[in-house]
Structure 1
Amino acid sequence: MNGNWTEQRIPDQHGRVAIVTGANTGLGFETARMLAERGAKVVLAVRDVDKGERAAARISGDVTVQALDLASLDSIRSAAAELRASHPRIDLLINNAGVMHTPRRTTADGFELQFGTNHLGHFALTGLLLDRLLPVPGSRVVTVSSMGHRIRAAIHFDDLQWERSYSRIAAYGQAKLANLMFTYALQRRLAPNGTTIAVAAHPGASNTDLLRNAPTVIRVPATRLAPLYTQKAEMGALPTLRAATDPAVTGGRYYGPGGRGEMRGHPKLVTSSADSHDRTAQERLWTVSEELTGVAFPAVAAQRNGSGS
């Protein structure tokens, strides 16, 4: 099928179970809404259950709410146990939630907030739920990264938690780079199984409330100029939805807006930074992430020469 990939091209989702983190607002809400309207059973995995319930009430379809605080390993383990008990199979795990440009704070487990929430939280959740996806043909883990993975971005293995110095922009870059490295390393591990794939996406410049924590020098101009370069959340969610539902998608790919600079537009296959494809760094990050979270992935073995990047 030719032409732009739009909401109308989302295939029928009846019979599928989708878990979307951070689904009470913005990109996550639109992702959940469109999946539910196509027939999926959707779980809004959110930190604030009251907000989640209000969001669920605005969606037509089979929607439930699950308490999940990605800044707490205890919360992640509890949520995973509840999700496993209520869903013997999971078709889609969409790692969407995130924080951006926060002042330096730490999670309940002492991790720098952006790295701990955006990467380590999703790493742990995926590991704890993966065996519910592995037997399901066509199942996918979709992790939302950002153009920020190119901005002052590196994995600071000597100071992952930014204890010596802190830059909220560079810390966000590290977290979003980690999202991509995780996707590529996970895909290598999934490739021998053949039923589940790992894919990444980014929303371009979408008009959401993520910039609320940005430094004033960034937030104020960005807010004023937003109508000129941003797109609505419904459009920003489309790369994630394409990664999650397009039958032509294969593992280890990355989707983003197709317009100039990947800021706006309909979703297409895009390319991530050279750093994100560093397999040595990917494997080192994987090992460190297992050590920090205490979560080991089931039934998947490292395939260093397998498919993926």
Structure 2
Amino acid sequence: MPATTIKAGARLQLRVAARRVCAQGIVALDLVAPDGAELPAFTAGSHLDLFLPGGFTRQYSLRNDPNERRRYALGVLREPGGRGGSAYVHDRLKSGDLIEASRPRNAFALDETAPFSLLLAGGIGVTPILAMAHRLSTLGRDFEFHYCARSAERMAFRDEIEASPFAAQMRFHLDDGPAGQRLDLDRLLGGRPNGAHLYACGPSGFLDAVVSRAAAAWPKETIHREYFANAAPKPTSGDQPFTVTLAHDGRSFEVVPGRSIAEVLSANGIVIPVSCEQGICGTCVTRVLSGEPDHRDLVLTDRQRADHITLCCSRARSAELVLDL
């Protein structure tokens, strides 16, 4: 069947082809085109925005092999303290339902040329790391995959992984397991194989530990991580007003404390795509032509921070920012 033609930027209409509980608090979803056509291609590390009833937009990473073109495979953790998106998926979404999604986007790209890749996953952070393992296996690249979970009951997709072509490259670690089974970050990250890149995804505490342990032996540009939540946003008590100017037409707007740049622009009829509103997905990243941003995101690289900003959460240290809008 030929692929359906989908305009760039258009929302996808997808059908829930399969749904199963795959671990404590985690649901696995397979999404397909309603007519069975091929879906837009994706790369390892990509995610989808799901547009859920009630105005919720949530990001979920693709876990399956990027060579697959007829399904998007996701894993969704129920977030007890969340804003309702995961509760909808767990409690109301069922096989056969139709759902809207974005095209795949990637803010956590894999360097496919690295001679060795070290993959680290904590909890539901296994989803994008799984797609990376599939891709590296297909390419015949050398890699090692470490997957950590609180307990065996919370470890999703273990059956999938043990049946995969890269099962021999897997190491499983349980917080409640024997001491020798727990992940030893100091041993693992104390040295760096020649040309190696490190990829980590999981809870903020897990990622902070990985990055701090790797700092001595791994150059910054070889450490890649993806957060699922901005757990420690900067305090806002000292925020000052500033001006944003649009380079394309010269209009300027004041951004007062308590309002984001994206909110101010939207209120003035300038549509800014926003998804996570926490600076973790990269949807609203915009080029800065002049001025000094006050970065509060967890998605931009050090190089990007020189001339880009996340409009959903970051502010300005200078009196004005001129944006490439």
> TM > 0.5 between the two?
no
- Larger Rg belongs to: 2
TM-score (norm 1): 0.35
Structure in which a larger fraction of residues adopt helix? 1
Flag the structure with more relative contact order, 1 or 2, with Cα contacts below 8 A and sequence separation at least 6. Answer: 1
TM-score (norm 2): 0.33
